[in-house]
Amino acid sequence: MTEHHADHRADAEANRLNEIPRIPLNSGYDIPQLGYGVFKVDPAETERLVTEALDVGYRHIDTAAIYGNEEGVGRAIAASGIPRDELFVTTKLWNDRQSGDQPRPALEESLHKLGLAHVDLYLVHWPSPANGHYLNAWTQLVTLNEAGLTRSIGVSNHLVEQLERIEAETGTLPAVNQIELHPAHQQREVVEWSTSRGVRIEAWGPLGQGKYDLFGASAVHDAATAHERSPAQVVLRWHLQKGNIVFPKTVSRERLVENLRVFDFELSDAEVDAISALDPGDGSGRVGAHPNDVN
């Protein structure tokens, strides 16, 4: 075998081992379990970074109207040449567009910026309970889904009380609930409610946004040492084995590649349990805003 063919075979084997699983949604579609999130990515840098993400193998991009970088995502997608049906694109409805008929023009604006005829997932970004419009927003999203402007619909940052109201008053459950979730803040009540009804959990801030010493925790450090992986890879692997959908944000190509190398090893049950035990259980591990406080 020539060196070239050996290298090619090694690359093919690496790609097979690191193939991203797809998770079925209650909408009938499926979603890559690992994606690339562009929260707080500079709009001027978004096209380059999404291009790099697509180049190294990502096919799931998570953005939002409020991020201000949908245009960059759209330019990267257009330039990639990747068939549309191989991509999964999520964007979100911001709080000030939840009332009346505003969700449709909000989504149409996002689609224009993205250069797409539809998104794969559209989310109500926050419940904004003080505004009192999240139920209207959800009803409007059902209509947008029926109109083909989005293949799946879901919510973000919704608590059990809001999910119960959505279920009771519309009878239509979200495909996903995207929530802050990392080892110190696992939102078990929301997760249990959602998963028992077939609502998939997406974890934002999966690495705790660097706001506490997650990587220094012995449960993470010891697993990283045992598997000869980085602490970040271990935490992402923990998410995957818990069934979470994740889309870590990075502005480093090296980290983009590293974050994909999480499918060719597996944590033991004991390692998963040790990392799960990092949640104090009292909500003190939250690093972002409480969902009821964002209005």
Catalytic residue numbers, as ranges: 67
Grouping H, G, I as helix, E, B as strand and the rest as coil, residue 157 is: coil
Q: Is 68 exposed, middle or buried (0-12, 13-18, 19+ CB in 10 A)?
A: middle
Instruction: Enumerate residues 6+ apart whose C-beta is below 8 A from 6.
Output: none
Is 173 within 8 Å of 167 (Cβ atoms)? yes
Strand locations in 148-295 (E): 150-156, 176-180, 200-204, 245-246
- DSSP annotation of 182: B
Selection from 33, 40, 38, 287 nearest residue 182 by Cα: 287
Selection from 86, 264, 283 nearest residue 190 by Cα: 283
Count helices and strands in the chain by DSSP H and E runs: 11, 10
Selection from 63, 146, 78 nearest residue 110 by Cα: 63
**Residue 294: both structure tokens together:** 């964002």
Selection from 109, 112, 114, 134 nearest residue 124 by Cα: 134
